[in-house]
Amino acid sequence: MRSRQKPCAQCQQVEPVLYRVQHDESGKWVFVCRRCWDEVSHNNPFYTYGGTWKAKKTE
């Protein structure tokens, strides 16, 4: 297994699991942590879920 790192687009914390989302009218895909995911997804007409990124990936 490989271990990778990626920061949350909102809070910049490096987390082992991030969620790929669109959350504003730009339609840009970003990766957010669980805490930020709760904030950007709640009652948001621009919100779209696009998958889960995990730091530990099997090769």
Q: What is the pLDDT of residues 1-53, one digit of tens each?
A: 667 889 999 999 999 999 999 999 999 999 999 999 999 999 999 999 999 99
Q: Quote the number of domains for the chain.
A: 1
Expressed as residue numbers, the domain containing 52 is: 2-57
**pLDDT tier at 56, thresholds 50, 70, 90:** confident
Which residues contact residue 10 at a Cβ distance below 8 angstroms, ignoring those fewer than 6 apart?
Answer: 30, 32, 33, 36, 39, 40
The confidence score (pLDDT) of residue 20 equals 98
Q: H/E element holding 37?
A: helix 34-41
Q: Report the predicted TM-score, pTM, of the whole model to 2 decimal places.
A: 0.87
How big is the chain by its Cα radius of gyration, in Å?
12
